Amino acid sequence: MPVVLRFFSVLPLWLLHALGAALGWAAFCASARYRQRFCAHAALAGYSFGAVRAAVAHAGRMVAELPRLWLGAPLPCRLEGAACVERAYAAGRGIVYLTPHQGCFELSAQAAARRWSAAHGPITVLYRPARQAWLARLMATARNRPGMLAVPTTLVGVRQMLLALRRGEAVGLLPDQVPPAGQGHWAPFFGRDAYTMTLAVRLARQTGAAIVLARCERLAWGRGFVTHFEPLAAPLASPLEAAVLQINQAMEQLIRQCPGQYLWGYARYKPPRAEAASPAEPGA
């Protein structure tokens, strides 16, 4: 499998995206469960299938571009809204980047690392190790790109994120990812309660780090990407529950800026899985 991935890592982006679009539609047509979840989640947000049908192909493009992201040459990515990142770094208390499952979300951290890691240190991101040994080794290596440090979703990994923020560095999270039981709070997301991580709020509160919202938009015909940065609209609310809802609302706002590239088929409303390990939450 690594040989196959390396082959795809050298293909031009337009070809990967063409293959990925076909893959996305094949998966959509083959799985009734996926189709139902995709349409139901889009409808919750007020979108008809026709309004977000582009997201079917974009889900496949996300998969097809992974070999380039992990093993290939850096992908072209323009940055918009970089001034808010500069201000956050200047404050010296670190940055918590929050990115939804939208567009090429892994590239948002890579692009920020290329721009700022030399001056401000690496971006630390959480990842869940794969069950297959070969894939776990590949992901551990591939996600440690220049200017990035990938840490596992364990208490040790969270402590590394806290240390990074206290050094004035940045960390990256997907706050619309369902956390394990005991590591989240039920809060509305597009009008339906979803189990939502509290980690982003706890990290920001314990370190005083700035929260920066980021979304990486995929351009047409393999022309690259553009990552948009913006600050959280208001300071985090004081009660934890209110702050978690605030994060969900910020993710909704990002998704509505480009709904055709959100992963509507992601099982956002599933119950949290049980986890025997220590909870990956600081101050829990």
- What pLDDT score does 250 carry? 98
- What pLDDT score does 1 carry? 61
Find the farthest-apart pair of alpha carbons in the chain and give their distance in angstroms, rounded: 50
Q: How far apart are CA 176 and CA 11, in angstroms?
A: 31
- Walk along the chain (284 residues) and give the pLDDT tens digit of each residue: 678 888 888 999 999 999 999 999 999 999 999 999 999 999 999 999 999 999 999 999 999 999 999 888 889 999 999 999 999 999 999 999 999 999 999 999 999 999 999 999 999 998 776 666 666 666 666 666 789 998 887 888 899 999 999 999 999 999 999 998 989 999 999 999 999 999 999 999 999 999 999 999 999 999 999 999 999 999 999 899 999 999 999 999 999 999 999 999 999 999 998 754 444 445 43
Q: Would the pTM of this model clear 0.75, i.e. be above it?
A: yes
- What pLDDT score does 25 carry? 98
* Number of helical (H) and strand (E) elements in the chain, helices listed first: 12, 9
- Find, among 244, 222, 221, 252, the residue nearest to 102 by Cα: 252
- What pLDDT score does 11 carry? 93
Count how many residues are written for the chain.
284
Q: How far apart are CA 47 and CA 256, in angstroms?
A: 10
